[in-house]
Amino acid sequence: MEPLRMANAIIQKIDRKEALIGIIGMGYVGLPLVLRFCEEDFRVLGFDVDPKKVATLKRGKSYLKSIPSSRVSQFVQSGHFDVTDNFSRLDKPDCILICVPTPLTEKMEPDLQYIEKTTEAILQNLRKGQLIVLESTTYPGTTEELILPRLESSGLKVGKDFFLAFSPEREDPGNKRFTTHQIPKVVAGVTPSCHRVVIALYSQIIRKVVPVSSPRVAELTKLLENIYRSVNIALVNELKMLTDRMGIDIWEVVEAASTKPFGFSPFYPGPGMGGHCIPIDPYYLSWKAREYDFTTRFIFLAGEINVHIPYYVVAKIQDALNARGKSLRRARILILGVAYKKDVDDARESPALPIMNLLQKKGATILYHDPYIPFLPSFRKYSFKLNSSPLTEQLLRRIDAAVVVTDHSIDYQRIVRLAPLIVDTRNVTKNMKQWKKKIVKA
Protein backbone atom coordinates (compact mmCIF):
# COMPACT_ATOMS: atom_id res chain seq x y z
CA MET A 1 0.00 0.00 0.00
CA GLU A 2 1.55 3.32 -1.01
CA PRO A 3 2.02 6.01 1.69
CA LEU A 4 -1.00 8.09 0.65
CA ARG A 5 -3.31 5.08 0.71
CA MET A 6 -1.93 3.94 4.07
CA ALA A 7 -2.58 7.39 5.59
CA ASN A 8 -6.03 7.59 4.04
CA ALA A 9 -6.89 4.15 5.38
CA ILE A 10 -6.14 5.02 9.01
CA ILE A 11 -7.83 8.42 8.69
CA GLN A 12 -10.98 6.73 7.37
CA LYS A 13 -10.82 4.27 10.25
CA ILE A 14 -10.53 7.18 12.70
CA ASP A 15 -13.38 9.10 11.04
CA ARG A 16 -15.63 6.02 11.25
CA LYS A 17 -14.56 5.55 14.90
CA GLU A 18 -13.39 2.04 14.10
CA ALA A 19 -9.80 2.72 15.14
CA LEU A 20 -8.73 1.09 18.40
CA ILE A 21 -6.94 3.64 20.59
CA GLY A 22 -4.06 2.46 22.80
CA ILE A 23 -2.98 4.73 25.65
CA ILE A 24 0.19 3.95 27.63
CA GLY A 25 0.17 5.32 31.18
CA MET A 26 -3.05 5.42 33.21
CA GLY A 27 -2.25 8.53 35.24
CA TYR A 28 -3.34 12.16 35.33
CA VAL A 29 -2.79 12.52 31.56
CA GLY A 30 -3.64 9.09 30.20
CA LEU A 31 -6.88 8.40 32.07
CA PRO A 32 -8.66 11.65 31.04
CA LEU A 33 -7.71 10.86 27.43
CA VAL A 34 -9.19 7.36 27.79
CA LEU A 35 -12.49 8.81 28.94
CA ARG A 36 -12.54 11.47 26.26
CA PHE A 37 -12.07 8.92 23.45
CA CYS A 38 -14.73 6.67 25.02
CA GLU A 39 -17.13 9.61 25.17
CA GLU A 40 -16.76 9.91 21.39
CA ASP A 41 -17.57 6.19 20.97
CA PHE A 42 -14.01 4.94 20.38
CA ARG A 43 -12.77 1.67 21.87
CA VAL A 44 -9.72 2.18 24.07
CA LEU A 45 -7.09 -0.25 25.34
CA GLY A 46 -5.15 1.19 28.26
CA PHE A 47 -1.64 0.04 29.24
CA ASP A 48 0.11 0.43 32.58
CA VAL A 49 3.03 -1.30 34.30
CA ASP A 50 1.26 -1.15 37.69
CA PRO A 51 -0.93 -4.26 38.10
CA LYS A 52 -2.81 -2.60 41.00
CA LYS A 53 -3.92 0.26 38.75
CA VAL A 54 -4.93 -2.21 36.05
CA ALA A 55 -6.99 -4.28 38.51
CA THR A 56 -8.66 -1.16 39.92
CA LEU A 57 -9.67 0.11 36.48
CA LYS A 58 -10.90 -3.32 35.41
CA ARG A 59 -13.31 -3.17 38.35
CA GLY A 60 -14.57 0.17 37.07
CA LYS A 61 -12.97 2.11 39.91
CA SER A 62 -10.97 5.33 39.74
CA TYR A 63 -7.91 6.07 41.90
CA LEU A 64 -7.85 9.77 40.94
CA LYS A 65 -9.96 12.22 42.97
CA SER A 66 -10.54 14.35 39.87
CA ILE A 67 -12.21 11.41 38.05
CA PRO A 68 -15.29 9.76 39.63
CA SER A 69 -15.52 5.97 39.43
CA SER A 70 -18.88 6.27 37.68
CA ARG A 71 -17.16 7.67 34.59
CA VAL A 72 -14.75 4.74 34.46
CA SER A 73 -17.32 2.03 35.20
CA GLN A 74 -19.75 3.12 32.47
CA PHE A 75 -17.14 2.57 29.76
CA VAL A 76 -15.78 -0.64 31.28
CA GLN A 77 -19.31 -2.05 31.40
CA SER A 78 -20.14 -0.88 27.86
CA GLY A 79 -17.00 -2.57 26.50
CA HIS A 80 -15.45 0.68 25.27
CA PHE A 81 -12.57 0.51 27.76
CA ASP A 82 -10.23 -2.33 28.59
CA VAL A 83 -6.88 -2.12 30.37
CA THR A 84 -3.85 -4.39 30.60
CA ASP A 85 -0.28 -4.68 31.84
CA ASN A 86 0.53 -7.04 28.94
CA PHE A 87 2.51 -4.87 26.52
CA SER A 88 2.64 -7.62 23.88
CA ARG A 89 -0.89 -6.44 23.02
CA LEU A 90 0.56 -3.21 21.57
CA ASP A 91 0.12 -4.66 18.09
CA LYS A 92 -3.67 -4.35 18.51
CA PRO A 93 -4.26 -0.56 18.64
CA ASP A 94 -4.31 1.52 15.46
CA CYS A 95 -3.23 4.64 17.37
CA ILE A 96 -0.87 4.54 20.37
CA LEU A 97 -0.53 7.53 22.71
CA ILE A 98 2.48 7.62 25.07
CA CYS A 99 1.66 9.32 28.40
CA VAL A 100 4.52 8.27 30.68
CA PRO A 101 6.52 10.29 33.26
CA THR A 102 9.62 12.28 32.32
CA PRO A 103 11.36 13.03 35.65
CA LEU A 104 14.86 14.29 36.39
CA THR A 105 17.89 12.35 37.58
CA GLU A 106 19.66 13.22 40.83
CA LYS A 107 21.97 15.42 38.70
CA MET A 108 18.93 17.38 37.40
CA GLU A 109 19.23 15.92 33.92
CA PRO A 110 16.40 14.38 31.82
CA ASP A 111 15.48 10.85 32.84
CA LEU A 112 13.95 9.33 29.71
CA GLN A 113 13.95 5.71 30.88
CA TYR A 114 10.14 5.48 30.73
CA ILE A 115 10.00 6.80 27.17
CA GLU A 116 12.85 4.47 26.19
CA LYS A 117 11.21 1.38 27.73
CA THR A 118 7.85 2.26 26.17
CA THR A 119 9.44 2.79 22.75
CA GLU A 120 11.14 -0.61 23.03
CA ALA A 121 7.81 -2.26 23.87
CA ILE A 122 6.18 -0.58 20.87
CA LEU A 123 9.10 -1.61 18.64
CA GLN A 124 8.66 -5.27 19.60
CA ASN A 125 5.02 -5.12 18.47
CA LEU A 126 5.03 -2.45 15.75
CA ARG A 127 2.97 -3.22 12.66
CA LYS A 128 2.17 -1.35 9.47
CA GLY A 129 -0.48 1.36 9.62
CA GLN A 130 -0.06 2.38 13.27
CA LEU A 131 0.10 5.97 14.51
CA ILE A 132 2.44 6.60 17.49
CA VAL A 133 2.05 9.88 19.41
CA LEU A 134 4.31 11.04 22.23
CA GLU A 135 2.45 13.22 24.77
CA SER A 136 5.06 13.25 27.55
CA THR A 137 6.79 16.59 28.15
CA THR A 138 10.38 16.50 26.95
CA TYR A 139 13.18 18.47 25.27
CA PRO A 140 13.01 19.51 21.58
CA GLY A 141 14.23 16.66 19.40
CA THR A 142 13.10 13.69 21.49
CA THR A 143 10.50 12.44 19.00
CA GLU A 144 12.82 12.57 15.99
CA GLU A 145 16.17 11.84 17.67
CA LEU A 146 15.19 9.17 20.20
CA ILE A 147 11.92 7.51 19.19
CA LEU A 148 12.11 7.67 15.38
CA PRO A 149 15.46 5.82 14.89
CA ARG A 150 14.40 3.05 17.26
CA LEU A 151 11.09 2.48 15.52
CA GLU A 152 12.70 2.57 12.08
CA SER A 153 15.20 -0.07 13.20
CA SER A 154 12.28 -2.46 12.65
CA GLY A 155 12.69 -1.95 8.91
CA LEU A 156 9.43 0.00 8.68
CA LYS A 157 9.61 3.60 7.40
CA VAL A 158 7.96 6.61 9.01
CA GLY A 159 5.29 8.28 6.88
CA LYS A 160 5.12 5.18 4.72
CA ASP A 161 4.61 2.15 6.96
CA PHE A 162 3.79 3.85 10.28
CA PHE A 163 3.11 7.39 11.50
CA LEU A 164 4.83 9.32 14.28
CA ALA A 165 3.84 12.60 15.95
CA PHE A 166 4.15 14.71 19.09
CA SER A 167 1.30 16.40 20.94
CA PRO A 168 2.06 17.81 24.41
CA GLU A 169 -0.38 17.12 27.22
CA ARG A 170 -2.07 20.15 28.75
CA GLU A 171 -3.99 18.59 31.62
CA ASP A 172 -4.68 20.67 34.72
CA PRO A 173 -6.00 18.30 37.42
CA GLY A 174 -8.77 19.81 39.52
CA ASN A 175 -9.51 22.60 37.03
CA LYS A 176 -13.27 22.45 36.44
CA ARG A 177 -13.26 25.39 34.01
CA PHE A 178 -11.15 23.70 31.34
CA THR A 179 -11.76 20.05 30.48
CA THR A 180 -9.74 17.90 28.09
CA HIS A 181 -12.28 18.64 25.35
CA GLN A 182 -11.94 22.41 25.78
CA ILE A 183 -8.16 22.79 25.95
CA PRO A 184 -6.64 23.42 22.47
CA LYS A 185 -4.30 20.64 21.35
CA VAL A 186 -0.93 21.41 19.73
CA VAL A 187 0.06 18.68 17.24
CA ALA A 188 2.90 18.00 14.81
CA GLY A 189 3.78 15.02 12.63
CA VAL A 190 7.25 13.90 11.58
CA THR A 191 6.18 13.81 7.90
CA PRO A 192 3.26 15.43 6.01
CA SER A 193 1.30 12.16 6.12
CA CYS A 194 2.00 11.82 9.87
CA HIS A 195 0.74 15.39 10.23
CA ARG A 196 -2.54 14.59 8.48
CA VAL A 197 -3.17 11.49 10.56
CA VAL A 198 -2.49 13.09 13.96
CA ILE A 199 -4.74 16.06 13.12
CA ALA A 200 -7.49 13.65 12.14
CA LEU A 201 -7.14 11.76 15.43
CA TYR A 202 -7.30 14.66 17.87
CA SER A 203 -9.97 16.50 15.88
CA GLN A 204 -12.31 13.72 17.00
CA ILE A 205 -12.00 14.57 20.71
CA ILE A 206 -10.66 18.14 21.04
CA ARG A 207 -12.61 21.27 20.16
CA LYS A 208 -9.60 23.06 18.63
CA VAL A 209 -6.48 21.42 17.18
CA VAL A 210 -3.43 23.65 16.66
CA PRO A 211 -1.04 22.22 14.02
CA VAL A 212 2.58 23.42 14.11
CA SER A 213 5.39 22.87 11.63
CA SER A 214 7.44 20.20 13.42
CA PRO A 215 7.59 18.02 16.54
CA ARG A 216 10.47 20.18 17.80
CA VAL A 217 8.20 23.25 17.74
CA ALA A 218 5.49 21.32 19.58
CA GLU A 219 7.99 20.02 22.17
CA LEU A 220 9.31 23.52 22.85
CA THR A 221 5.79 24.94 23.02
CA LYS A 222 5.04 22.87 26.11
CA LEU A 223 8.35 23.82 27.72
CA LEU A 224 7.69 27.52 27.07
CA GLU A 225 4.28 27.29 28.74
CA ASN A 226 5.81 25.88 31.92
CA ILE A 227 8.97 28.01 31.88
CA TYR A 228 6.72 31.09 31.63
CA ARG A 229 5.05 30.03 34.87
CA SER A 230 8.34 29.09 36.53
CA VAL A 231 9.95 32.46 35.81
CA ASN A 232 6.93 34.49 36.93
CA ILE A 233 6.49 32.43 40.10
CA ALA A 234 10.19 33.00 40.86
CA LEU A 235 9.75 36.74 40.30
CA VAL A 236 6.83 37.10 42.70
CA ASN A 237 8.49 34.83 45.28
CA GLU A 238 11.63 36.95 45.18
CA LEU A 239 9.49 40.04 45.67
CA LYS A 240 7.76 38.28 48.58
CA MET A 241 11.11 37.89 50.36
CA LEU A 242 11.97 41.55 49.68
CA THR A 243 8.60 42.92 50.77
CA ASP A 244 8.80 40.85 53.96
CA ARG A 245 11.89 42.85 54.94
CA MET A 246 10.26 46.11 53.83
CA GLY A 247 7.11 45.49 55.85
CA ILE A 248 4.87 45.46 52.74
CA ASP A 249 2.15 42.87 52.06
CA ILE A 250 3.01 41.27 48.69
CA TRP A 251 -0.53 39.91 48.35
CA GLU A 252 -1.95 43.41 48.52
CA VAL A 253 0.60 44.55 45.93
CA VAL A 254 -0.35 41.78 43.49
CA GLU A 255 -4.05 42.44 44.04
CA ALA A 256 -3.59 46.13 43.30
CA ALA A 257 -1.44 45.47 40.21
CA SER A 258 -4.11 43.05 38.93
CA THR A 259 -6.54 45.93 38.45
CA LYS A 260 -4.53 47.01 35.40
CA PRO A 261 -6.58 45.75 32.42
CA PHE A 262 -3.58 45.23 30.12
CA GLY A 263 0.10 44.26 30.24
CA PHE A 264 -0.08 42.39 33.56
CA SER A 265 -0.93 38.79 34.47
CA PRO A 266 -1.08 38.04 38.19
CA PHE A 267 1.11 35.35 39.71
CA TYR A 268 0.92 34.63 43.41
CA PRO A 269 3.66 33.79 45.90
CA GLY A 270 3.71 30.47 47.69
CA PRO A 271 5.91 27.94 49.50
CA GLY A 272 7.69 26.85 46.30
CA MET A 273 6.79 25.08 43.09
CA GLY A 274 5.12 21.70 42.75
CA GLY A 275 3.60 19.21 40.36
CA HIS A 276 5.22 17.06 37.73
CA CYS A 277 5.78 19.84 35.18
CA ILE A 278 6.82 23.27 36.41
CA PRO A 279 9.70 22.27 38.75
CA ILE A 280 11.09 19.85 36.14
CA ASP A 281 10.47 21.06 32.59
CA PRO A 282 12.82 24.09 32.59
CA TYR A 283 15.75 21.75 33.27
CA TYR A 284 14.91 19.74 30.16
CA LEU A 285 15.48 22.80 27.99
CA SER A 286 18.56 23.90 29.94
CA TRP A 287 20.09 20.45 29.44
CA LYS A 288 19.38 20.46 25.70
CA ALA A 289 20.72 24.02 25.32
CA ARG A 290 24.20 22.81 26.27
CA GLU A 291 24.30 20.87 23.01
CA TYR A 292 24.24 24.26 21.27
CA ASP A 293 26.88 25.87 23.54
CA PHE A 294 24.16 27.98 25.15
CA THR A 295 23.50 28.58 28.85
CA THR A 296 19.92 29.42 29.83
CA ARG A 297 20.89 31.75 32.68
CA PHE A 298 17.45 33.27 33.16
CA ILE A 299 15.80 29.85 33.49
CA PHE A 300 18.49 28.65 35.91
CA LEU A 301 18.08 31.77 38.07
CA ALA A 302 14.31 31.22 38.31
CA GLY A 303 14.95 27.60 39.30
CA GLU A 304 17.39 28.63 42.03
CA ILE A 305 14.91 31.09 43.54
CA ASN A 306 12.06 28.58 43.53
CA VAL A 307 14.25 25.87 45.08
CA HIS A 308 15.23 28.32 47.86
CA ILE A 309 11.65 29.19 48.91
CA PRO A 310 11.11 26.13 51.19
CA TYR A 311 14.24 27.20 53.12
CA TYR A 312 12.72 30.67 53.49
CA VAL A 313 9.46 29.16 54.79
CA VAL A 314 11.30 27.04 57.37
CA ALA A 315 13.29 30.10 58.51
CA LYS A 316 10.01 32.00 58.99
CA ILE A 317 8.61 29.11 61.07
CA GLN A 318 11.76 29.07 63.20
CA ASP A 319 11.66 32.86 63.70
CA ALA A 320 7.97 32.78 64.61
CA LEU A 321 8.59 30.10 67.25
CA ASN A 322 11.62 31.98 68.63
CA ALA A 323 9.52 35.12 69.00
CA ARG A 324 7.19 33.09 71.23
CA GLY A 325 10.01 31.65 73.33
CA LYS A 326 9.93 28.23 71.64
CA SER A 327 12.58 26.20 69.86
CA LEU A 328 12.04 24.50 66.51
CA ARG A 329 13.74 21.44 67.95
CA ARG A 330 11.05 19.17 69.42
CA ALA A 331 8.30 21.55 68.28
CA ARG A 332 5.13 19.86 66.97
CA ILE A 333 4.46 21.27 63.49
CA LEU A 334 1.24 20.55 61.60
CA ILE A 335 1.54 20.87 57.82
CA LEU A 336 -1.80 21.85 56.26
CA GLY A 337 -1.86 20.39 52.75
CA VAL A 338 0.80 18.23 51.10
CA ALA A 339 -0.64 18.18 47.57
CA TYR A 340 1.15 20.37 45.05
CA LYS A 341 -1.99 22.44 44.37
CA LYS A 342 -5.42 23.18 45.77
CA ASP A 343 -8.03 20.39 45.98
CA VAL A 344 -6.07 17.69 44.13
CA ASP A 345 -4.64 14.37 45.35
CA ASP A 346 -1.20 14.65 43.74
CA ALA A 347 1.85 15.33 45.94
CA ARG A 348 4.52 14.87 43.24
CA GLU A 349 7.27 17.48 43.62
CA SER A 350 5.12 19.30 46.19
CA PRO A 351 6.92 22.06 48.13
CA ALA A 352 5.47 20.46 51.26
CA LEU A 353 8.00 17.63 50.91
CA PRO A 354 11.24 19.67 51.19
CA ILE A 355 9.63 21.83 53.91
CA MET A 356 8.81 18.71 55.97
CA ASN A 357 12.25 17.27 55.33
CA LEU A 358 14.00 20.46 56.47
CA LEU A 359 11.84 20.68 59.59
CA GLN A 360 12.61 17.08 60.50
CA LYS A 361 16.34 17.66 60.03
CA LYS A 362 16.09 20.55 62.50
CA GLY A 363 14.51 18.26 65.08
CA ALA A 364 10.83 19.15 64.73
CA THR A 365 8.05 16.56 65.04
CA ILE A 366 5.97 16.63 61.85
CA LEU A 367 2.27 15.91 61.40
CA TYR A 368 0.15 16.71 58.38
CA HIS A 369 -3.47 17.06 57.36
CA ASP A 370 -4.63 16.68 53.77
CA PRO A 371 -8.22 15.63 52.95
CA TYR A 372 -7.08 14.36 49.53
CA ILE A 373 -3.99 12.40 50.59
CA PRO A 374 -4.75 10.03 53.51
CA PHE A 375 -1.18 8.71 53.65
CA LEU A 376 2.13 9.81 52.18
CA PRO A 377 3.71 7.25 49.84
CA SER A 378 7.44 7.11 49.19
CA PHE A 379 8.71 9.68 46.72
CA ARG A 380 11.84 9.95 44.62
CA LYS A 381 13.70 11.86 47.36
CA TYR A 382 11.53 11.57 50.45
CA SER A 383 9.88 8.91 52.61
CA PHE A 384 7.93 10.10 55.66
CA LYS A 385 5.62 7.13 56.41
CA LEU A 386 2.91 9.39 57.81
CA ASN A 387 -0.89 9.32 57.75
CA SER A 388 -3.09 12.40 57.57
CA SER A 389 -4.13 13.57 61.06
CA PRO A 390 -7.77 14.55 61.63
CA LEU A 391 -8.22 18.19 62.63
CA THR A 392 -9.56 17.57 66.12
CA GLU A 393 -9.72 20.36 68.68
CA GLN A 394 -7.29 18.41 70.85
CA LEU A 395 -4.70 18.21 68.03
CA LEU A 396 -4.97 21.89 67.09
CA ARG A 397 -4.51 23.01 70.69
CA ARG A 398 -1.60 20.58 71.23
CA ILE A 399 0.62 21.63 68.31
CA ASP A 400 3.14 24.48 68.41
CA ALA A 401 2.39 25.74 64.89
CA ALA A 402 0.21 25.03 61.85
CA VAL A 403 1.75 25.80 58.45
CA VAL A 404 -0.57 26.41 55.50
CA VAL A 405 1.29 24.92 52.52
CA THR A 406 -1.61 23.97 50.22
CA ASP A 407 -4.78 26.07 50.30
CA HIS A 408 -7.31 23.22 50.17
CA SER A 409 -10.98 24.06 50.74
CA ILE A 410 -11.08 23.52 54.53
CA ASP A 411 -12.25 25.57 57.54
CA TYR A 412 -9.27 27.84 58.20
CA GLN A 413 -11.18 30.07 60.62
CA ARG A 414 -11.57 27.15 63.01
CA ILE A 415 -7.88 26.24 62.65
CA VAL A 416 -6.72 29.79 63.31
CA ARG A 417 -9.05 30.09 66.30
CA LEU A 418 -7.77 26.91 67.95
CA ALA A 419 -4.08 26.70 66.97
CA PRO A 420 -1.49 28.76 68.90
CA LEU A 421 0.43 29.89 65.79
CA ILE A 422 -0.35 29.95 62.05
CA VAL A 423 2.34 30.32 59.38
CA ASP A 424 0.46 31.19 56.20
CA THR A 425 2.17 30.74 52.81
CA ARG A 426 -1.07 31.07 50.77
CA ASN A 427 -2.83 34.15 52.20
CA VAL A 428 -5.82 32.14 53.43
CA THR A 429 -5.90 34.28 56.59
CA LYS A 430 -6.15 37.67 54.88
CA ASN A 431 -9.60 38.45 56.34
CA MET A 432 -8.83 37.21 59.87
CA LYS A 433 -7.53 40.41 61.42
CA GLN A 434 -9.00 39.52 64.83
CA TRP A 435 -6.29 36.84 65.18
CA LYS A 436 -3.44 38.75 63.54
CA LYS A 437 -1.17 38.36 66.60
CA LYS A 438 -0.85 34.62 65.98
CA ILE A 439 -0.62 34.78 62.17
CA VAL A 440 2.73 34.99 60.37
CA LYS A 441 2.90 35.34 56.57
CA ALA A 442 5.64 33.34 54.86
* Domain 249-441 in the same topology as domain 3-213: yes
Domain ranges of the chain: 3-213, 249-441
pLDDT value of residue 278: 64
Contact between residue 377 and residue 409 where contact means Cβ atoms under 8 Å apart: no
pLDDT value of residue 401: 97
pLDDT value of residue 221: 96
pLDDT value of residue 406: 96
pTM assigned to the model: 0.90
β-bridge pairing 422-424 and 365-369: unpaired
pLDDT value of residue 180: 86
pLDDT value of residue 275: 62
> Is 99 in the active site?
no
DSSP string, 34-49: HHHHHHTT-EEEEE-S
Cα separation, 22 vs 181, whole angstroms: 18
Q: Where are the beta strands (DSSP E) in 199-276?
A: 209-211
Task: Return the CATH architecture of domain 3-213.
Answer: 3-Layer(aba) Sandwich (3.40)
- Report the topology of domain 249-441: Rossmann fold (3.40.50)
Residues of the chain predicted below pLDDT 50? none
Contact between residue 82 and residue 22 where contact means Cβ atoms under 8 Å apart: no
Contact between residue 168 and residue 218 where contact means Cβ atoms under 8 Å apart: yes
Q: Of 38, 95, 99, 277, which residue is the catalytic one?
A: 277
Q: What Cα–Cα distance (Å) separates residue 298 from each residue in 98, 107, 276, 305?
A: 31, 19, 21, 11
pLDDT in tens, 179-189: 888 999 999 99
